[in-house]
Chains A and B, each alone.
Chain A
Amino acid sequence: MNNSTKNIFVIPSMCALFVGFSSVSSQSYAGQHKGVVQANWQSTSAYPSWYSRGASVNRFGQGEDGVNISRALVQSRFEIGSSWSAHSSLQYVPDPDDKVGFTELFVEYKPVTRGAYQPQLRVGGFYPKMSLENPDIGWSSPYNYSYSALNAWLGEELRAFGLEASVKRSGKRLAKQSAHNWQWLAGVYKGNDPLGAVLAWRGFAPHDRQSVFNEALALRPTAGFRAPQLRKQAWQIEPFTEIDGRFGYYVGAHWSYQNRHDLRAYWYDNNGDPGVVNYHTGQYAWDTKFWSLAYKYKITKRTHLIAQAMSGNTAMGFSRGVDNDFDSQFVLLTHRWQEYRVSGRIEQFKVKDMDHWAFDPNDSDGGAITATVKWRFSESWRFGAEFQYLETKVANRADDNLPTRQIEQLWRVSGEYRF
């Protein structure tokens, strides 16, 4: 059964499920449910997508044209007394084979505090809040349909399964009032050991497909996969699994000034032991660490600038046989006018091969310019269109005698229903 045939069955059943959710009541006194069903048409790539084991970095590769449900999501919040709440994001994506699962599931402790300092806790599986591009429902972007390559990677490969503790300092509640607000955060977690594998073999890709908790990401089997040194590595990545038994950690700081400037700095280290492999699943622990700096400036009430930069290193194998540096940056400008939002983003990304395994080239780089118009037709219905100029150069495309460089001009038209 091909994808489009499957969609015939899946789309109505998903719609029934979501309509069921929305008709029950979007808000009962115990919980709050918000959802979105997004349908999409997009121009396709010359190659099949990575999850169809192709060389395209576009989510919708060769043969994926036509209208589909790009994402359906229910985000819920349940109150547990005054200080605790439980949060979940349950999503459906059609690619590659109709996946339903949680992208986030955690409980949060956020007490009402009298003083300037407020302690907070999150326990479960969640995104560290290092980005400012994805504040909308289900960690989606209100600006462009395809996230920046930087955040698309976080959505695809990064999730913390553990505990995050933070302290927030509210400037207005200090004895001597201040317009500066701070939050300091630290997280310890398990899982997320294969983080970085997708960057090594596919490279960065601007898209909007977030991974669910039990995700296995298919990749094109490059020549490197067939080499004896990588024989234990499966041809898919299970990004959220625990391999080496060690804890990872991150630390972060948020600063905001007059609710107009917002800066977030993070150091993320999954503390993976690159020599450890799970022979059963074919997954390595990667030693991946990076810093991320995100900034948002509200130039006016309606015109905002968002930028983010990231730089790090990832390595796997006993002798760090795969060892890559990576970095990515983007600048996004968005303007809201009446019920319309226009957003433009320019970005670049790079993975630099630092090891001596010549049979497994990991070099890749590229950039994109993305322009998006979104129209809020009503509270429930939203429409929009996006154009993306995308240029990528991936060294291991040569394994299949493909040109390493690819330039694409991609269109996307989208309609969504929210409840």
Chain B
Amino acid sequence: MQFQQQVNKAITKRARWQYGVALSACLMSSMGVAKPLTLNVTGKDGKPVKEAVVWFESKQLTLKQNTLKQSYKMGQKDRAFTPHILVVPKGAEVSFPNYDSILHHVYSFSAAQPFEFKLYRDNPQSLTFGNTGVVELGCNIHDWMLGYILVVDSTYFAVTDEHGKAVIDMPEQLQSELVINVWHEGFANLDQPERKQLKSLPNTFTLTYQLNQSLFELKEDFSDEFDDYE
């Protein structure tokens, strides 16, 4: 009898454990285990494109809280925005530290987030970006300064490196369709990223995206510290 009870307990325990495993497996399959997806962005000519912004949208991709809460910085150093392009999820707060010893007067007329402020060193201002879109940045003191903040409705994003490569941690199993968005500052219409529907991600977890448009050639930056004498 006692033996039977012990066996029953053991069976119950195993059943609970099995149930737990089954539930976890079920959850895992819906959420997916994160796995790094390698992306290669190429131009129409097949050559790698650096500084392209890539992000994924899908019903199944829930917003990662730690990505939302991350501290985002758009600095100004040696009279240039650093980074040149910053991608943030909608609702993120961005601070604007000025690493130069001179004043900057940063502004944007973008529909997504128009603003302006004068920035002294060691007195950063912050702003919450609540609307998606491209926020083009300028400086009213140093006219040549140009930077972008891309506000996207996703926490799955990256910017391609020198070799046109980016890595995004994606769920291993995706059951619903997803949309890949690609943006580059050489686009003819900066407010219109390229979008493409994907049924699924390739098993190799390597994806190549070829741009549909040719890029405007970006001009070499000849600015120096004396250009503000104007």
Chain B residues with CB under 8 Å of chain A are: 101-103, 105, 107, 109, 116, 118, 120-123, 140, 143-144, 219-224, 226-230
Q: Interface size for chain A: under 10, 10 to 19, 20 to 34, or 35 or more residues? A: 20 to 34
CB of A77 closer than 8 Å to a CB of B: yes
In the A-B complex, list the 6 residue pairs whose CB atoms are closest, starting with the nearest: A135-B229, A135-B226, A112-B107, A298-B222, A260-B222, A259-B222
> A259 and B118 in contact (CB under 8 A), knowing A29-B123, A135-B226?
no
Tell me if A29 and B140 are in contact (CB < 8 A).
Answer: no
Q: How far is the CA of A142 from the CA of B103 in the complex (A)?
A: 20
Give chain A residues whose Cβ lies under 8 Å from the Cβ of B121: 27
A207 at the binding interface (Cβ < 8 Å): no
* B219–A179 touching, CB < 8 Å: yes
Q: For the complex, give the distance between the alpha carbons of A129 and B228 in Å.
A: 11
> Given A27-B121, A29-B123 in contact, is the A129-B105 Cβ separation under 8 Å?
no
Interface string of A133-154 (1 = CB under 8 A from B): 0111000001000000000000
Known contacts A29-B123, A258-B222, A259-B222, A82 near B118 by CB under 8 Å: yes
Q: Does A79 contact B (CB under 8 A)?
A: yes
A114 near B109 (CB under 8 angstroms)? yes
Interface of B is mostly: loop
| Distance of A33 Cα from B83 Cα, bound (Å) | 27
**In residues 167-204 of chain A, which contact B (Cβ within 8 Å)?**
168, 170, 179, 181, 183
Alpha-carbon distance between A70 and B8 when the two chains are bound, in angstroms: 98
Contact of A170 with B230 at beta-carbon distance under 8 Å, contacts A259-B223, A301-B222 already known: no
Alpha-carbon distance between A258 and B143 when the two chains are bound, in angstroms: 12
Within 8 A of B (CB), among A50-83: 77, 79, 82
- Assembled-state Cα–Cα distance A136/B227 (Å): 10
Contact assessment for A112 and B116 in the assembled complex, using a CB-CB cutoff below 8 Å: yes
Smallest Cβ distance from A23 to chain B, in angstroms?
Answer: 15
Residues from chain A with Cβ under 8 Å of B140 in the complex: 110, 112
Residue pairs across A and B with Cβ atoms less than 8 A apart, 13 shown, are A27-B101, A28-B120, A29-B123, A32-B120, A34-B102, A79-B118, A129-B229, A179-B219, A254-B230, A259-B221, A260-B222, A301-B220, A301-B222
CB contact under 8 A between A136 and B120, given known A26-B101, A32-B102, A112-B140: no
A112→B105 contact, CB < 8 A: yes
Q: Given A112-B107, A129-B230, A301-B222, are A170 and B118 also a contact pair (CB < 8 Å)?
A: no
The complex places the Cα of A260 from the Cα of B144 at a distance, in Å, of 11
Chain A residues whose C-beta falls within 8 Å of the C-beta of B102 in the assembled complex: 32, 34
Expressed in whole angstroms, the Cα–Cα distance for A166 and B229 within the complex equals: 14
Which of chain A's residues have a CB closer than 8 A to the CB of B222?
Answer: 258-260, 298, 301
**C-alpha gap A29/B125 in the complex (Å):** 12
Interface contacts beyond A112-B107, A260-B222, A301-B224: sample of 10 additional A-B pairs, CB < 8 Å, sorted by A: A27-B103, A28-B120, A32-B103, A79-B118, A112-B105, A114-B109, A134-B229, A179-B219, A183-B230, A379-B101
